[in-house]
Every structure is written in structure tokens, then in C-alpha cells.
């Protein structure tokens, strides 16, 4: 079963709307993905040092790029989701707060390339890092892509907890582990996680597993999720 088939099955089991056209992706370099995370307000603590809003992060990007934090991040690989309209509306404004003209020009070119690709895509798109390593490529095309597409599936069904990344990542992780029939492994995965930021994905997935326990009808599952989204949105 490929990723789209798994998504469609998830949609059926939780009474969610589903369309193939929602699920697309754009490939970027590892550095470009880090830049997107940095300015797109990824809540990872490593970025928070450089600002709690996009404008401060833009002003501090020269310090970030010269830091050990950047050297730690640059070898990361993974994915994220960008919402096309918000990206077009805000991202260039934030880039223009970068004070170093060389850095600013570099990322404006990157922005223009993404905008060009977004014209052919749906409103929300998965962003994935390119990699030459075979084990990374395999995971990116399966596990990581599936995770980001679950974000899109949930957002397309208004199942996004506002301003609460832990609940959102927990819900996506719950769906991912549910699809793989591995919900029973959540505690051990949380225990094995050495990076607290990622540990939260499993900790909050456990909450959703417990809240949905014993609810077997798709319509009832969706109603419970809508109730939880309303309750935990800030």
C-alpha cells in the first residue's frame, strides 16, 4: 500500500474528506529547508534563541548562519508543510528584514523559485529535503512524506489545533502510528527519543490514543477530534 492509499484508508476510518490532488511536494536543499524552518517559525528551541517572531529571526539570521547551531542543523533532513497563500503574503516581507544584502538576495532567489513551483501546486504543500544518502531518501519518500501529508489531510478537514504545535504534532503522530498499527509502541518511542522537541510528538500522540480509545465508528471519531481541536486551540 503506497502513501496515498494509506491516507485514503485513514480518511475513511475517521470520516474525513479526501482528494488526491491535495497531496503534493517540493524538494529543496538541506540549507533551504533549514531557512524555511527558521523563518517559518518552527518552534524547535534551537531556532528560538534567535527570535520569537519572524522579524527578529530575519534580523538575527547572520548570527544564526555563523553559529554552531547552524552547523548542527545543516545536516538535518526532514520535511514540513507550507500554506501557499500565507507563504506568498508574508515570507518576502520577512526576508526583506534581513540586513545583510548578500544573504537577502540569496533567499529572495529561493523565494521566487518556490513561488514559481507553488503555481502548479495545491494550497498546502509538503517541503522535503533532497539527499544523496540512500537510507535518507527511502525515509523521506515514505515516512517523512507520509507525516507531512497527514498534516495536509488534517488541515484540509479543519483538524488543526491553533497555536499549539505539540498537540498538532501529537495528532499527526497518532495518525501515523495508527496507520502502521504501532500505537502500542508510543511509550517506548517516547522513552527512546533523545531530543526533547521530538519526544513531545510521542507524548502528545499518547494523549490522542487515550482520548480515542474505544471509539470505533468513523463519524464518532471525527466528532471527538473536532471537540478536542476546539478545546485545545489557544
Q: Where are the domains of the chain?
A: 20-160, 161-226
Distance CA 50, CA 46 (A): 8
**pLDDT tens across 196-207, in order?**
999 999 999 999
Question: Is the model's pLDDT at 121 over the cut of 80?
Answer: no
Please report how many Cα atoms fall inside a 13 Å half-sphere around the Cα of residue 122, on the Cβ side: 17
Question: Strands across the sheet with 124-129, in order?
Answer: 25-28, 124-129, 79-83
Q: What does pTM read for this prediction? A: 0.94
**pLDDT tens across 47-95, in order?**
999 999 999 999 999 999 999 999 999 989 999 999 999 999 999 999 9
Whether the Cβ atoms of residue 166 and residue 204 lie closer than 8 Å to each other = yes
Instruction: Please give the angle made by the CA atoms of 53, 41 and 234, to the nearest 5 degrees.
Output: 80
Among 76, 68, 66, 67, which residue's Cα sits nearest to residue 37?
A: 76
Distance CA 222, CA 234 (A): 20
Distance CA 31, CA 140 (A): 16
pLDDT band (50, 70, 90) for residue 46: very high
Amino acid at each position: 500500500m503506497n502513501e496515498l492509499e494509506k491516507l485514503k484508508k485513514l480518511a475513511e476510518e475517521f470520516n474525513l474528506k479526501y482528494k488526491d490532488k491535495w497531496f503534493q511536494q517540493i524538494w529543496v536543499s538541506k540549507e533551504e529547508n533549514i531557512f524555511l524552518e527558521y523563518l517559518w517559525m518552527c518552534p524547535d528551541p534551537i531556532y528560538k534563541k534567535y527570535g520569537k517572531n519572524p522579524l527578529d529571526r530575519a534580523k538575527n539570521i547572520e548570527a544564526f548562519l555563523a553559529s554552531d547551531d547552524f552547523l548542527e542543523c545543516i545536516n538535518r533532513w526532514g520535511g514540513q508543510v507550507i500554506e501557499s497563500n500565507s507563504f506568498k503574503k508574508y515570507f518576502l516581507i520577512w526576508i526583506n528584514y534581513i540586513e545583510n544584502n548578500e544573504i537577502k538576495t540569496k533567499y529572495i532567489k529561493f523565494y521566487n523559485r518556490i513561488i514559481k513551483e507553488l503555481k502548479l501546486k495545491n494550497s498546502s504543500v509538503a517541503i522535503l529535503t533532497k539527499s544523496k544518502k540512500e537510507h535518507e531518501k527511502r525515509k523521506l519518500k515514505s515516512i517523512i512524506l507520509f507525516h507531512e501529508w497527514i498534516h495536509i489531510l488534517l488541515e484540509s478537514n479543519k483538524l488543526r489545533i491553533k497555536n499549539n504545535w505539540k498537540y498538532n504534532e501529537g495528532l499527526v503522530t497518532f495518525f501515523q502510528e495508527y496507520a502502521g498499527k504501532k500505537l502500542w509502541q508510543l511509550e517506548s518511542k517516547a522513552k527512546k527519543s533523545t531530543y526533547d522537541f521530538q519526544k513531545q510528538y510521542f507524548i502528545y500522540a499518547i494523549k490522542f490514543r487515550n482520548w480515542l480509545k474505544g471509539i470505533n465508528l468513523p463519524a464518532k471519531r471525527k466528532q471527538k477530534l473536532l471537540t478536542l481541536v476546539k478545546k485545545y486551540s489557544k
